[in-house]
Structures are given as C-alpha cells and as structure tokens.
C-alpha cells in the first residue's frame, strides 16, 4: 500500500493535536496509520517581495509541507474566489456572491502553486486526498504535471442545486476540474443528487450508475461520506466533573432554570440572527419561562475581513442587546453572547450542562456541533437537540427535533416542546442518536473514504451508510 498524501487549505499542527476537530482527527489518524504527507497553507501571509519558502517538518512517519500565501493570494484566492464566490454560492447565497475575474485567475494560480510544491514529493503509488472548495482545480493541476495517481476530493460544504451551481461564473471550468478526480465525496445523499442533476442538465457526462460517471476515457466514482467526530475524546472531556455542570445542576433543580446553547463560527450560513429571534419568540409565547431560560450563544470570530461577516456580527450584537433590554430583570439576563474561541475542554462540559442544543444553520455541509452536543450528553438526564433540516447532519440525526430555521415560530415551538419533553422520551431519542454518532465517527469516515479511493469500490461503503 502506498502512502497517503493529504492536501487541504489549512493543515493541523502535527506536533500537538489535543485541540483539533473531527476533520483533523480523522486525517491525522489516517496519516499515522499509513504514513505520508500533509500539504497546505501554513496560515501566514507575506508580501510578494518575500520569497515564499516551503516549510518541511517531519513527525514520525508523517511529513508536513506548508507555504505562506502572498497578500494578493490571500485577498483573491482565499478571501476572494473561495470565500466571496464559492462559499456564498454553495450555501445558496447568490446575493452575497462577489465575483471578479482576477479572483478566479488567482484561485487557479494558487492551486498551481500548491501543486508545484507537492509535485516533487509525490511517489507513483501515493494515494492523494484533496479537501474542500479551496482546491477544486488540484487534480487538474497534478495531472498537468504528469501524475497518474488515484486522486480523491472531499467537499465539506453542501453541493448546491443545479440551478445555483450553474449561476457560479466559470462553473463549466469547475466541472471540468472536478471530473479530473477519481473519487468525488460529498457529505450527504442530497449533495450527490444535486451533483447528478447538474451533470445531467449541464454536461454530456454519462451517468452509468448513482456511483459512476464516465467522461471521455475517464471513470469517476461518486459517493456520500458523512463526516463524524472523535466521540471518545469528546465524551471524555465533557464528563470531567466541572464547575459548569455543578452550576447547571443547581440552576435546574434549585432555581428551576435551564440553559439553551449554540456554538458556531460567526458565519451568515449558520443562521444566528434567525435563531436569536426564535429565542425571543419563545420568551413571548411562553412567558412562564421568562426568568428561567438562559440562552448561551458562543460565536467564534471568522473571516472578519469579508464585509458580509462584519455585517452579521453587528446584526447579532444588536439583536442580543435588544432581547436583553426587553426581557432582562435585576437577577436574570436571557442572552449571554460570547464572541471568541472557547477551548474544547470548556465547550464540551457546557454542551453537557445545557438542556437544549440549538443548531439551526440556514445551510451546512454537515455541522459537527450537532454531533458533539449528542456525544457530550449524559444518558441519565440527556438534553434535546433542535436541528435545522438544512444541516447535512439532519439526514442522519432524525430523532432530533428537526426544524425549518427560516420559520421563527416553528423553532420557538420546538424550544417549548424540548423544555417540556418527558425524561423517558429524551433518553430514548438520545440513545438512538448517540448510537449513530458513535457508529459513524471521524475514524469511520476516513476509513470509508480511503477504502473507496484506494479500491474504487465505494459501492459497499455507501451500502453500509444507507
Ligand atoms: P464549519 O463550518 O467550521 O465546518 P462545524 O462542522 O460546525 O462547522 O464545525 C465547527 C467546529 O468548531 C466544531 O468542532 C465546534 O465545536 C467548533 N466551534 C464552534 N464554535 C466554537 C467556539 N466558539 N470556540 C471553539 N470551537 C468552536 C465545515 C462545514 C461543516 C462541516 C465541517 C466538517 O461548514 O458543514 O461539518 O466543515 O466537514
């Protein structure tokens, strides 16, 4: 078996991996098991005049290969085409798409730069796994350099409907690039359907079966591989006896108060203002819970250089202030809003201590917070997950209270249902959800994907998913 080569926009620090999320956990495990290379951007931005040098670091059988972005690449490739064109369009926000021709040129050139960095290090039997929307042209660039390896792509964000994808400028070129991979992996069955429909309507690719597409002399495999979390690690940190849990116990039993929690990157796709309005509506329709419901929104700063992100931040802050202004009393403020990164060791006990996990993105590839919330619960007295039907996770987590995040009133009523749900029903739902989260954890995800990539038979993998 050859080595595994992973190419992603960002790489994790291989030296210490205690803080990494599901994606990185799955990848690091696979790299360590097989030996290999992890290549990507090192996170720094340098002036064009500074020579961009490749950094090579080795940890055991894994080597990391990273380079900085120049100011121009950061602006046009990363913030530009990736995050002002592809991200909004793939999350159904064509209104926020800001396309410029120089963005796509730089996106293409930056992919070529990373391909050039990786190319001399590749061996013929390496299996290459490329991640996410930043690197759609990577296989095409590697093929140009003569590499005939098996190259797979995994899209972490949704693949939108055919109409939306065909509205992305240069979608024909993006399609050509995607079809240079040997395996295209999506998060959900819905994403696979959207891709098929797009191919049927906008290309002459022959769809041989749901898993096989043929274009000219190439056969491309397609499948869905829902990403999971490192359940054991998350359950372990959430179970640590912690002041947070003690506080919540007191809250629930002595003060008859309960906590609702949300944690997201502060991104317009996550539906934070809609959710804040739903909580406000809940306080309106259930006045008996005023003084008893605490809503904790933890929102980590994200892509603040993009206007749409600073706009959503301002909107959320204004709303949180307005809800508190309207409902707060001397001994209670309904909304606690934290705008920073919280270490995993703190986040997990907070999830465990909250009666309701409110996860209502307007669109999301998967949403790992939903799975983390389930993994953090204690089955003796588990909390309830309220989950958007537009999160990829809703395809698997059907025992959650599934809601339409655009329907403020529906979400407010789901909050009411959750607060009054009997313990036995909470336990029953949680048992089923936890089983699914455990069965399809981060390790399962990488094994299924790599099996499909290496053997070209993801059919069996996806049958197991169904
Ligand atoms: P993201 O959009 O970043 O990921 P998500 O899947 O929810 O979304 O992962 C966020 C991670 O960050 C979770 O592990 C969560 O615990 C953590 N997090 C959130 N808020 C935090 C805070 N304030 N402090 C610290 N940590 C915080 C993209 C796609 C998703 C897809 C993943 C993985 O958009 O749909 O699930 O990739 O494929």
Domains of the chain, CATH where assigned: 4-224 (3.40.50.2000), 231-439 (3.40.50.2000)
* Pair of tokens at residue 465: 């998913």
Question: Treating both helix axes as pointing N-terminal to C-terminal, what angle do 458-465 and 442-455 enclose, rounded to 10 degrees?
Answer: 150
Among 6, 135, 265, the mutation site with the greatest number of ligand 1 atoms within 8 A of its Cβ is: 265
Atom number of ligand 1 nearest to Cα 158: 35
Q: What is the pLDDT of residue 303?
A: 87
The closest of 217, 264, 246 to 358, measured between CA atoms, is 264
Residue nearest to atom 38 of ligand 1 (CA): 156
Nearest C-alpha to atom 15 of ligand 1 is from which residue?
Answer: 369
Burial of 460 (0-12, 13-18, 19+ CB in 10 A): exposed
Closest atom of ligand 1 relative to the 342 alpha carbon: 24
Mutate to test the pocket of ligand 1, among 366, 437, 440, 441 (most ligand atoms within 8 A of CB): 366
Q: Helix, strand or coil for residue 176?
A: helix
pLDDT at 202: 96
Q: Which atom of ligand 1 is nearest to the CA of 299?
A: 23
Q: Where are the alpha helices (DSSP H) in 36-170?
A: 71-73, 87-90, 101-118, 138-144, 162-165
User: Reading across the β-sheet that carries 384-388, which strands appear in turn?
Assistant: 335-338, 293-300, 258-265, 356-359, 384-388, 401-403
Contacts 24+ apart (CB under 8 A), 12-18: 12/38, 14/38, 14/57, 14/59, 14/62, 14/64, 15/57, 15/59, 18/344
Q: Which atom of ligand 1 is nearest to the CA of 341?
A: 24
Q: 342 CB less than 6 Å from ligand 1?
A: yes
Q: pLDDT value at position 48?
A: 79
If you measure from the C-alpha of residue 264 to the centroid of ligand 1, how many angstroms do you get, rounded to a whole number? 6
Question: Residue 227 region, left (φ>0) first, then alpha (ψ -120 to 50), else beta?
Answer: beta
Which of 8, 159, 224, 369 is the best mutation target for the ligand 1 pocket, counting ligand atoms within 8 Å of the beta carbon and taking the most? 369
369 lines ligand 1 (CB under 6 A): yes
**Over its length of 466 residues, how does the chain's per-residue pLDDT go in tens digits?**
789 999 999 887 766 544 455 567 778 888 988 899 999 999 999 987 777 689 999 999 999 999 999 999 999 999 999 999 999 999 999 999 999 999 999 999 999 999 999 999 999 999 999 999 999 999 999 999 999 999 999 999 999 999 999 999 999 999 999 999 999 999 999 999 999 999 999 999 999 998 999 999 899 999 999 999 999 888 777 777 666 666 666 666 666 789 999 999 999 999 999 999 999 999 999 999 999 999 999 999 888 888 889 899 999 999 999 999 999 999 999 999 999 999 888 899 999 999 999 999 999 999 999 999 999 999 899 999 999 999 999 999 999 999 999 999 999 999 999 999 999 999 999 999 999 999 999 999 999 999 999 988 654 444 444 3
Closest ligand 1 atom number to CA of residue 369:
7
Non-local CB neighbours of 178 within 8 Å, separated by 6+ positions: 136, 153, 184
Any ligand 1 atom below 6 A from CB of 350: no
Tell me the whole-structure pTM to 2 decimals: 0.95
Ligand 1 pocket residue status of 263, Cβ below 6 Å = yes
Cβ of residue 367 lying under 6 Å from some atom of ligand 1: yes
Q: Is 264 in the pocket of ligand 1 (CB under 6 A)?
A: yes
Question: What is the whole-number distance in angstroms between the Cα of residue 372 and the centre of ligand 1?
Answer: 10
* Ligand 1 atom nearest to 343, measured from its CA: 25
Query: Would you please indicate which residues are annotated as catalytic (active-site) residues?
Result: 156, 364
CA of 338 to the centre of ligand 1 (A): 16
Determine if ligand 1 sits within 6 Å of the CB of residue 364: yes
Ligand 1 contact, 365 CB (< 6 A): yes
CA distance 162 to 405: 22
Two tokens at 391?
Answer: 């999160």
CA of 367 to the centre of ligand 1 (A): 6
CB atoms within 10 A of CB 337: 19
């Amino acid at each position: 078996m050859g080595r595994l080569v992973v190419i992603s926009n960002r790489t994790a620090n291989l030296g210490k991996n205690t803080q990494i999320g599901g994606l990185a956990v799955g990848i690091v495990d696979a790299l360590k098991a097989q030996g290999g290379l992890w290549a990507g951007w090192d996170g720094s931005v340098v002036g064009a005049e500074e020579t961009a040098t490749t950094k090579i670091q080795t940890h055991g059988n894994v080597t990391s290969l990273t380079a900085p972005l120049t100011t121009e690449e950061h602006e046009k490739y990363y913030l530009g085409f990736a995050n002002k064109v592809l991200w909004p369009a793939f999350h159904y926000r064509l209104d926020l798409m800001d396309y410029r021709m120089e963005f796509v040129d730089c996106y293409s050139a930056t992919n070529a730069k990373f391909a050039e960095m990786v190319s001399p290090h590749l061996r013929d039997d390496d299996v290459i796994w490329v991640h996410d929307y930043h690197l759609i042209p990577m296989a095409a660039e590697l093929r140009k350099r003569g590499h005939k390896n098996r190259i797979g792509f995994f899209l972490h964000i949704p693949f939108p409907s055919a109409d939306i994808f065909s509205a992305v400028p240069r979608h024909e070129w993006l399609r050509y690039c995607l079809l240079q991979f040997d395996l295209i992996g999506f998060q959900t069955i819905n994403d696979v359907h959207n891709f098929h429909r797009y191919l049927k309507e906008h290309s002459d690719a022959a769809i041989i079966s749901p898993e096989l597409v043929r274009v000219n002399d190439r056969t491309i495999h397609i499948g869905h591989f829902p990403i999971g979390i490192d359940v054991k690690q998350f359950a372990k940190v959430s179970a640590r006896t912690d002041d947070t849990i003690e506080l919540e116990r007191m809250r629930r039993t002595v003060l008859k108060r309960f906590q609702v929690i949300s944690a997201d990157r502060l991104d317009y796709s996550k539906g934070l203002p809609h959710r804040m309005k739903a909580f406000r509506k809940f306080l309106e329709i259930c006045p008996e819970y005023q003084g008893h419901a605490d809503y904790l929104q933890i929102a980590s700063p994200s892509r603040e250089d993009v206007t749409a992100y600073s706009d959503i931040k301002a909107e959320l802050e204004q709303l949180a202030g307005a809800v508190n202004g309207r409902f707060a009393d001397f001994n209670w403020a309904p909304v606690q809003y934290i705008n920073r990164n919280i270490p995993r060791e703190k986040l997990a006990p907070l999830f465990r201590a909250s009666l309701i996990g409110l996860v209502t993105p307007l669109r999301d590839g998967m949403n790992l917070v939903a799975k983390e919330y389930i993994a953090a619960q204690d089955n003796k007295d588990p909390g309830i997950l309220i989950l958007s039907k537009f999160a990829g996770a809703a395809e698997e987590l059907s025992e959650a209270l599934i809601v339409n995040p655009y329907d403020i009133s529906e979400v407010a009523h789901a909050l009411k249902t959750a607060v009054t749900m009997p313990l036995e029903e909470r336990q029953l739902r949680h048992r089923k959800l936890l089983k699914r989260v455990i069965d399809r954890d981060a390790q399962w995800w990488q094994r299924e994907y790599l099996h499909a990539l290496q053997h070209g038979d993801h059919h069996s993998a996806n049958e197991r998913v169904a």
